[in-house]
Amino acid sequence: MDKNGITEDVMKTTETVFKSMVFMDINGTEYPDVIYIPEKHLTAMVGFAGSYMGLVSIHCSDKFARIVGGSMLSMDADNLSDEDVRDALGEIANIIAGQYKARLGEKIQSDEQVFEQSIPSVIYGDDYETHTVTDAPRYCAKFETDYESFYVELALKRT
């Protein structure tokens, strides 16, 4: 699988999930740089292992995560608890990982399960970096919205 094809799949998968679950149109572009969000932000991650192993991560500001949670739960973003926000972003990461798993299975033309997913984990703070502890290649896209930008990152390796 080529890098551009994988990044394109990450972008298409994320765009589909955001349109159907968050009711938001987004546009992605490849993002090869280090992700830096200067204010309080969240990272939702779903790991996976099987024929392929890796990690799907969403990185966004607290403000944008609240917008996502509010849209998903049909609530005012300001009325969401921190737990609601973390759960919503974790679920989006989980759905993106699941949709990507289906897309990968089609691409490699395999009926077998390409990987099993972990439960989502969410990190929240204002000064942290994430690093995938593996030699898996990294594929990242930056998405623009009417509100602000966010990032989706995939580390993927054949086992």
What's the domain range around 15? 3-158
pLDDT in tens, 108-146: 776 667 788 999 999 999 888 887 766 888 999 999 999
Name the pLDDT band for 102 (thresholds 50, 70, 90).
confident
Output the pLDDT for position 110.
Answer: 65
CATH number of the CATH domain containing 119? 3.40.1550.10
pLDDT in tens, 46-70: 998 888 888 999 999 999 999 999 9
Cross-strand pairs, 59: 43, 151
Handedness of CA 70, 7, 137, 48 (dihedral sign): positive
- Please count the structural domains in the chain: 1
Are 101 and 48 spatial neighbours (Cβ–Cβ below 8 Å)? yes
